[in-house]
Amino acid sequence: MSDCENRPVAYFAHGKESGPWGSKIKALADVARSRGYQVESPDYSDVTDPEKRIERLLDVTKETTVTMLVGSSMGGYISTVASSVIKPKGLFLMAPAFYMPGYAVQAPRPVAEKTVIAHGWNDEIVPVGHSINFAREYKAQLHLLESDHRLNDQLEFLCVLFGCLLDDVAGYW
């Protein structure tokens, strides 16, 4: 077994209108790599249907033991729905698009040892109340930040939160 096969793996799922290597994913991927993770960030930009994105994530991870799923906005929804099949140790969700009209699963259930959510108080795309309700229902750790949907002005804090989650689940791999 090679060294790569022994390393924990983090899969990132970007939002509806972003790409696989936006500023948040680049920064968080660096945090994961610094802790020995292999990082994957599939490109979903050619697919607007969230259910098709879930299928893609399940397809690219089917022969991998995924330790961490990370998602932003629609990617948070995708990661959470896919967690029921993938069963990662951790879920890190940024402004996850829960309870949104047109999404097939209106109440996705997280299947992970730990779930951490960061959401901006001033989110103009996904109401902050959606994350509050989700966190209450599933006892997820929730961080409400003075920010908007993109959370770009909170990048340093997101890296700290993500690093803490990675450290927290480290005992599981």
Q: CA of 124: how far to CAs of 45, 117, 150, in Å?
A: 21, 17, 9
pTM across the whole model: 0.94
Q: What pLDDT, on a 0 to 100 scale, did the predictor assign at position 133?
A: 97
Question: Is 125 exposed, middle or buried, given 0-12, 13-18 or 19+ CB atoms closer than 10 A?
Answer: middle
Helix, strand, coil shares of the chain, percent, nearest 5, are 40, 15, 40
The CATH class of the 3-172 domain is alpha beta
Tens-digit pLDDT profile for residues 22-58: 999 999 999 999 999 999 999 999 999 999 999 999 9
Distance, in Å, from the CA atom of 136 to the CA atom of 44, rounded to the nearest integer, reads 29
Tens-digit pLDDT profile for residues 103-150: 999 989 999 999 999 999 999 999 999 999 999 999 999 999 999 999
